[in-house]
C-alpha cells in the first residue's frame, strides 16, 4: 500500500505539472500568483491522503469536505491534463514536421487563446460529468439460455456494481438505487463488488434500505478490491446486515436447479481458479458466475452460462476509458465466450474518486434470461 501511495502521489504531481504548463500563459505575472498556485496544488495532491487520515480519526465533517473538494478537483484536473497532453503531443508533432516543412511551424498551439479555450472546455465537460454521474440508467440485457429450472419461464436478474458507498455516495444515492431496483422487481439481486468505499463509522444507516428488497430467489454478493480497503470484517458485516449472502469460492443452488457461483477479488487474498470453483461443465444447467473483475479464465469458459462483472467503470471519465481498456478489453456490455458462455460487464452504479462520469453514465442492469427449451 505504501508503494501504491508513493506511485500515486508521483503521478498526480506530474499531472499537476502538465496542467501548470498548459495554464501558465494566463497566470498573472508576479510571485504571489505562482506561490498560491503551488500551495493549492500541494494541498490538492495531498487531499486524498488527508481525506483517509481524517476518516480514520473520525473527523467526519472535515473528511467529507476534503473528499468533495479534493475529488472534484481531481476530476477537473484529469480533463485538463488530457487536453494539455493532447496539446503537447500536437505541438511536438508540429515541431517534428516543421523540420521538413517549415510552413507547419505556424500550426503550433501556444499562448493565451489555447489555454483559455482548454479551460472553457474543461469547465463545461466537468460540469456535465458531475450531473451525468447522477443520471442512473437501466441497461436491459436479454439472453436465450439452453434451459431454466422447472417452473421458471423467465429469470430476471438485477446487477448492482461499484456503488462505492462512503464519504460521498451516501443516503440519497443509495435511496435512488434501491428504488430503481424495486421498480425492476427482480427474481434475483446480485452485487458484483465494490459496494463499499468507507470505514465503519460512515456506514451507519446504509444497510437498512437493502433489507427492504426481498427478491424471491435471494440476494447474493461478491467482494471487490474496495471491500478490502474498507476492512474485511467491516465489509462482511455490512453485506450480511444488508441481507446479502456473500459467496467466497462457492456455488449455491436455488430454485431446484439454478446455480450461483461467486469468487472474491484477488485483493481479498482467497481467490481460487474459476474452473475449480465451478467444477465440471453440466449440460443444460444455468450457472451465474459473480466475479468483480471482467477477466474470463479460458479454463472456465462453457462451465458457466453468464459471468457478471464490473470494476473498470468503463474508465468513468473520458478519455480514461482508453487506458482501462488496455487492462480490461471487455469493460462495457455483453460479450460472447465460447459456445454457451457470456460475460456482461457493468459500467458501475456509482463513482469512485471524482463524483463525476463523462460518457460513461452509471447503470443498474436488468438481465432477462429466457429458456430455449421450456419444460
For 68-98, the pLDDT digits (tens) are: 999 999 999 999 999 999 999 999 999 999 8
Please report the pLDDT score of residue 4 as a whole number.
Answer: 78
Q: Is the pLDDT of residue 5 over 90?
A: no
Please report the pLDDT score of residue 64 as a whole number.
Answer: 93
Q: Is the pLDDT of residue 375 over 60?
A: no
Regarding beta strands 333-337 and 306-309, do their DSSP bridges make them parallel or antiparallel, or are they unpaired?
A: unpaired
The whole-number average pLDDT for the span 183-205 is: 89
Q: Are residues 157 and 366 in contact, defined by beta-carbon separation less than 8 angstroms?
A: yes
The whole-number average pLDDT for the span 22-41 is: 94
**The C-alpha cell that represents 323 in the structure block:** 487506458
Burial of 104 (0-12, 13-18, 19+ CB in 10 A): middle
The whole-number average pLDDT for the span 276-296 is: 93
Among 89-98, 212-221, 323-332, 349-358, name the one with the lowest average pLDDT: 89-98
Percentage of residues of the chain with pLDDT beyond 70: 98
Please report the pLDDT score of residue 142 as a whole number.
Answer: 97
Whole-prediction pTM value? 0.94
Which conformational region is residue 369 in: left (phi greater than 0), alpha (psi within -120 to 50 degrees), or beta? beta
**The C-alpha cell that represents 133 in the structure block:** 454521474
Please report the pLDDT score of residue 339 as a whole number.
Answer: 92
The whole-number average pLDDT for the span 277-292 is: 92
Q: Is the pLDDT of residue 203 over 90?
A: no
Please report the pLDDT score of residue 101 as a whole number.
Answer: 87
HSE, side-chain direction, 13 A CA sphere, residue 77: 23
Regarding beta strands 287-291 and 306-309, do their DSSP bridges make them parallel or antiparallel, or are they unpaired?
A: parallel
- b/e map 266-285, b = 16+ CB within 10 Å: ebbeebeebbebbeebeeeb
Within 10 angstroms of residue 172's Cβ, the number of other Cβ atoms is 9
Pick the most confident of 89-98, 150-159, 341-350: 341-350
What SS3 state is found at 53? helix
Please report the pLDDT score of residue 253 as a whole number.
Answer: 94
How would residue 2 be classed by pLDDT, with cut points 50, 70 and 90? confident
Burial of 344 (0-12, 13-18, 19+ CB in 10 A): buried
Which position has the grid cell 450457472?
A: 287
Amino acid at each position: 500500500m505504501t508503494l501504491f501511495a508513493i506511485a500515486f502521489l508521483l503521478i498526480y504531481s506530474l499531472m499537476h505539472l502538465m496542467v501548470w504548463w498548459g495554464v501558465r500563459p494566463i497566470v498573472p505575472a508576479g510571485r504571489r500568483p505562482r506561490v498560491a498556485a503551488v500551495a493549492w496544488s500541494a494541498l490538492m495532491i495531498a487531499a486524498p491522503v488527508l481525506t483517509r487520515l481524517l476518516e480514520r480519526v473520525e473527523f467526519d465533517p472535515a473528511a467529507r469536505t476534503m473528499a468533495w473538494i479534493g475529488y472534484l478537483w481531481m476530476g477537473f484536473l484529469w480533463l485538463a491534463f488530457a487536453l494539455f497532453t493532447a496539446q503537447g503531443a500536437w505541438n511536438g508533432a508540429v515541431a517534428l514536421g516543421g523540420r521538413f516543412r517549415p510552413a507547419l511551424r505556424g500550426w503550433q498551439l501556444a499562448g493565451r487563446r489555447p489555454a483559455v479555450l482548454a479551460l472553457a472546455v474543461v469547465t463545461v465537460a466537468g460540469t456535465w460529468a458531475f450531473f451525468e454521474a447522477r443520471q442512473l440508467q437501466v441497461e436491459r440485457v436479454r439472453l436465450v439460455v439452453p434451459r431454466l429450472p422447472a417452473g421458471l419461464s423467465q429469470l430476471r436478474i438485477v446487477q448492482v456494481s461499484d456503488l462505492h458507498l462512503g464519504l460521498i455516495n451516501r443516503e440519497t444515492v443509495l435511496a435512488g438505487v434501491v428504488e430503481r431496483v424495486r421498480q425492476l422487481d427482480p427474481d434475483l439481486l446480485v452485487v458484483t463488488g465494490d459496494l463499499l468505499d468507507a470505514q465503519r463509522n460512515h456506514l451507519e444507516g446504509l444497510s437498512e434500505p437493502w433489507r427492504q428488497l426481498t427478491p424471491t430467489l435471494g440476494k447474493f454478493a461478491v467482494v471487490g478490491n474496495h471491500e478490502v480497503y474498507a476492512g474485511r470484517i467491516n465489509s462482511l458485516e455490512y453485506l450480511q446486515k444488508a441481507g446479502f449472502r456473500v459467496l467466497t469460492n462457492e456455488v449455491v443452488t436455488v430454485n431446484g436447479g439454478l446455480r450461483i457461483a461467486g469468487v472474491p477479488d484477488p485483493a481479498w487474498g482467497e481467490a481460487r481458479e474459476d474452473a475449480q470453483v465451478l467444477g465440471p461443465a453440466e449440460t443444460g444447467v444455468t450457472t451465474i458466475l459473480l466475479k468483480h473483475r471482467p477477466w474470463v479464465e479460458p479454463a472456465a469458459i462453457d462451465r458457466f452460462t453468464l459471468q457478471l462483472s464490473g470494476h473498470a467503470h468503463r474508465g468513468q471519465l473520458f478519455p480514461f476509458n482508453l487506458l482501462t481498456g488496455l487492462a480490461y478489453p471487455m469493460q462495457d456490455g455483453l460479450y460472447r465466450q465460447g459456445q454457451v458462455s457470456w460475460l456482461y460487464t457493468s459500467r458501475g452504479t456509482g463513482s469512485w474518486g471524482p463524483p463525476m462520469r463523462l460518457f460513461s453514465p452509471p447503470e443498474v442492469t436488468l438481465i432477462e434470461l429466457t429458456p430455449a427449451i421450456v419444460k
